[in-house]
Amino acid sequence: MKAQLRALIDQGLTALRSAGSLPTDLAAPDFVIERPKERAHGDFSTNVAMLLAKAAKTNPRALAQQLVAALPPSDAIAKVEIAGPGFINFHLTPGAWQQQVRAIHAAGMRFGHNTSGGGRTVGVEYVSANPTGPLHVGHGRAGAIGDCIARVLAANGWNVKREFYYNDAGVQIENLARSVQARAKGLAPGDPGWPADAYNGDYIADVAAAYLRGERVDVEGHVVAGKDDADDLDAIRRFAVAYLRREQNADLAAFGVSFDVYFLESSLYADGKVEETVQRLIANGYTYEDGGALWLRTTAFGDDKDRVMRKSDGTYTYFVPDVAYHLSKWQRGYERAITELGADHHGSLARVRAGLQALDCGIPAGYPDYVLHQMVTVMRGGEEVKLSKRAGSYLTLRDLIDEVGRDATRWFLIARKPDSQLVFDIDLARSQSNDNPVYYVQYAHARICSLLRQAEDKGHAHDPARGQAALDRLDDAPAQELLRELSRFPEVVETAGATLEPHLIAQYLRELAQAFHAWYHASPVLVEDADLRDARLALALATRQVLANGLDLLGVSAPERM
């Protein structure tokens, strides 16, 4: 509908230029067409007259009046009004909304999709958990957000590459190896000789037992085998990382999250990419030596102070491989990169971007985009749930999935803006009530499927052509409200992709379900009047399609029975 209104406005501006009311060389400004907050102000509003008035040397209201008079006739517009300093408000005809049903049926699963991404490649990195233990609930929120961002970007015409970055090098991996080795030697947390920085969860004992019995672990086509040797720390390290990577992959598969690329931090060192990056920064003149350490002049790119790259002991600080890693994304053809992280990583963002700019290799400023999520608090029975016996110190993602199921877990972890604190209420997520948003939305979809079964049971053969021809019967207020909600879906998808905020899809689906349930209770569908019945079934089926499309963008199922 916005595209149709924009075309009408452009035609009106052309007519004003031809009539001499506007300079012939005056181009149309980048005006907006939006839905007013108050329904009384119309269905859509534009600010085009206010943006053009100064250049046209007239006042906005006068120009608005001229433009309204110059608009070509349209069956979609019932009334046009001028409001305030020069807003133009459009009131649409019922037929304009009714044609949305035809558009939805024609597009099917593609309804809501667009081509704004232009087929450009975007890499979306998310979860990227250290392979040191089971995934926790925070990783789950990262997985839900990242996966939904990838789905929404794909719906907006991007060529999306989903990427998992394994931090398989560094102190934490060393602690993991020594923890497993201690278990393999028969030690347990609290025993004399138990490493001070060890991981204490029961899963460490599982890894050690699997290693000692020579279990073979296949991770992305690479096989690592254990052996009965508790002294071989290198073998233990390789096995533990592979074992926990396999376990994390299984948890993500249960969560409906998958990746196109698994990237190992260790490969950046093995392939010399970290050292190449450092040498390039040195050659570009953005480094200096001080106190035996190598520093990067990040202040040249907006950071509050310069940062150490290589410590006096010769080891690199953690942001250096991050710079090399994001350079690799650019070199692999990622025209845009999006990295989803916990809010605790905020401090490293500026220095990574500064390092990429200091490389002076064509990477645009602001690369990569970061999406940061806040922590999750899980509640049950009014009390916080914190611990998992297997993990030892945190609640695992698998625990949550086992408690409430994949659909509810994904919905609740995506339902709020990423940078907001999130309270996950297990009792609410398990409830079959209208207060549970995922149940409420899925029930709307299942109710429509039930309508079709009831129609068949009653011998009402649905005739789609008859329903399409009788859409003018959808002129009551609840039907018009539902049609308006359906028409919003493409706008919501586009906005969610532009702002990287997939929670907007969840919010929209709840509002759509509310509009559907209100229409369903006000407008009996399976009436004897065949034309009216098929028109209402056509509207119900359009609603089912949009619900299914939206749920798919969230990775949530659209059940036919509940």
- If you average pLDDT over every residue of the chain, what do you get? 94
Do residues 105 and 48 share a domain? no
Residue 107 lies in a domain: yes
Q: Could you give phi then psi for residue 386, rounded to 5 degrees? A: -115, -35
**pLDDT value of position 495:** 96
CB contact at 8 A, 502 and 514: no
Q: How many CB atoms lie within 10 A of CB 166?
A: 22
pLDDT reading at 366 higher than 90: yes
User: Of the given ranges (345-354, 408-417, 502-511), which has the lowest mean pLDDT?
Assistant: 345-354
Q: How many CB atoms lie within 10 A of CB 258?
A: 12
Which residues lie closer than 8 Å to 313 by C-beta, 6 or more apart?
Answer: none
Do residues 7 and 102 share a domain? no
Q: How many CB atoms lie within 10 A of CB 148?
A: 27
CATH number for the domain spanning 40: value is: 3.30.1360.70
CB contact at 8 A, 302 and 335: no
Do residues 497 and 465 share a domain? yes
User: Is the pTM for the entire model greater than 0.85?
Assistant: yes
**pLDDT value of position 69:** 95
Do residues 449 and 483 share a domain? yes
**Domains identified in the chain, total number:** 2
CB contact at 8 A, 92 and 43: yes
> Alpha helix (H) ranges present in 122-259?
137-155, 171-184, 203-212, 233-254
Do residues 452 and 532 share a domain? yes
In order, the DSSP letters of 476-534 are: SHHHHHHHHHHHHHHHHHHHHHHHT-THHHHHHHHHHHHHHHHHHHHS-SS-S-HHHHH
**pLDDT value of position 389:** 62
Between the alpha carbon of residue 101 and those of residues 7, 384, 544, the distances in Å are 21, 45, 11
Domain boundary among 92, 108, 131: 92
Domain that holds residue 25: 2-92
**pLDDT value of position 545:** 98
**pLDDT value of position 1:** 85
272: Cα separation from own chain's centroid: 33
Do residues 107 and 52 share a domain? no
Residue 485 lies in a domain: yes
Across 231-259, average pLDDT:
95
The long-range contacts involving 299-303, CB below 8 angstroms and separated by at least 24 positions, are 300/354, 300/358, 301/350, 301/353, 301/354, 301/357, 301/358, 302/350, 302/354, 303/350, 303/351, 303/354
Which residues lie closer than 8 Å to 40 by C-beta, 6 or more apart?
Answer: none
Per-residue pLDDT of 440-481, as tens digits, reads 999 999 999 999 999 999 999 889 899 999 999 999 999 999
Do residues 67 and 109 share a domain? no
pLDDT reading at 237 higher than 80: yes
Pair of tokens at residue 74? 């349209």
Residue 245 lies in a domain: no
CA proximity to 518, closest of 471, 556, 485? 485
Do residues 102 and 69 share a domain? no
Tell me the CA end-to-end span of the chain in Å, nearest whole number. Answer: 34
Domain boundary among 92, 107, 130: 92
CATH number for the domain spanning 534: value is: 1.10.730.10
Residue 32 lies in a domain: yes
Across 518-535, average pLDDT:
96
DSSP H or E segment with residue 452 = helix 437-457
**pLDDT value of position 251:** 94
Per-residue pLDDT of 380-415, as tens digits, reads 999 999 876 677 678 899 999 999 999 999 999 999
Do residues 107 and 87 share a domain? no
Pair of tokens at residue 206? 């599982």
- In angstroms, rounded to a whole number, what is the distance separating the alpha carbons of residues 423 and 416? 10
Instruction: Please state whether the peptide bond connecting residue 368 to the residue before it is cis, i.e. omega within 30 degrees of 0.
Output: yes
Amino acid at 542: A
Per-residue pLDDT of 169-210, as tens digits, reads 878 999 999 999 999 999 999 999 999 999 999 999 999 999
- In angstroms, rounded to a whole number, what is the distance separating the alpha carbons of residues 212 and 492? 53
Share of the chain above pLDDT 70, in %: 99
pLDDT reading at 525 higher than 90: yes
- In angstroms, rounded to a whole number, what is the distance separating the alpha carbons of residues 144 and 26? 47
- In angstroms, rounded to a whole number, what is the distance separating the alpha carbons of residues 43 and 45? 7
- In angstroms, rounded to a whole number, what is the distance separating the alpha carbons of residues 84 and 91? 16
Do residues 452 and 547 share a domain? yes
**pLDDT value of position 269:** 94
Between the alpha carbon of residue 432 and those of residues 268, 282, 315, 450, 519, the distances in Å are 49, 61, 54, 17, 21
**pLDDT value of position 346:** 82
